[in-house]
Chains A and B, each alone.
Chain A
């Protein structure tokens, strides 16, 4: 892991800490009040706050998850080099695109 990846990993962790805490509260609240498309869209649709909140969350999680997965793969499978970097880039882009798409759909 390069110093740049290390700093990015910790920085995204710091950014996500409060986001995860709020997300946990939202999970419990949403479950308590009943999960339905109507209830979710009622909360999030047209809300700039939730768009920003979950947009930031998706970007940070995509970066954080990719770096973490890469570290685990390097250490536990010995996979290194260009192939790994390409696979990780694909994972990152997939999570990022799917995540941002989801944010756009619900807000």
Chain B
């Protein structure tokens, strides 16, 4: 990437833009995960198949992927609440604070899940 292309990207290096990127990436990720999630739940028809799948999820890499999914869900929730407040309540000048709280909540959720899954 050329220096000037990097400079043009740097125009977007501020909290509100990062919040947008995270919201978009987490949203697309969750939407694509939904059908897979439902397919796995469908395994419950045959409890033994479901349990075999749960054993597969014990692997550290899968647990890490699950943690990422929890973080995506938490950050999309908290970021989405910020957007709802931004759009439907009077303007707040503390957007940076709300964004930090949203990211913090996502991190907290991920850590909580990791602890639970340990």
Contact = CB atoms under 8 A, between A and B. Distances in A.
Direct contact of A and B (CB under 8 A): yes
Interface of A: 10, 13-14, 16-17, 20-21, 23-24, 27-29, 31-32, 35-38, 40-41, 58, 61-62, 65-66, 68-69, 72, 94-95, 98-99, 101-102, 105-106
Contacts, number: 88
A72 B27 CA distance: 10
Given A16-B77, A65-B34, 19 more contacts: A20-B76, A21-B77, A24-B70, A24-B73, A27-B113, A29-B116, A36-B51, A37-B54, A40-B44, A40-B50, A61-B34, A65-B31, A69-B28, A72-B24, A98-B35, A98-B38, A98-B39, A105-B41, A105-B45
Interface residues of B, number: 36
Given A10-B87, A68-B27, A105-B45, A31 B116 contact: yes
B34 A99 contact: yes
Interface of B: 24, 27-28, 30-31, 34-35, 37-39, 41-42, 44-45, 47-48, 50-51, 54, 57, 70, 73-74, 76-77, 80-81, 83-84, 87-88, 109, 112-113, 116-117
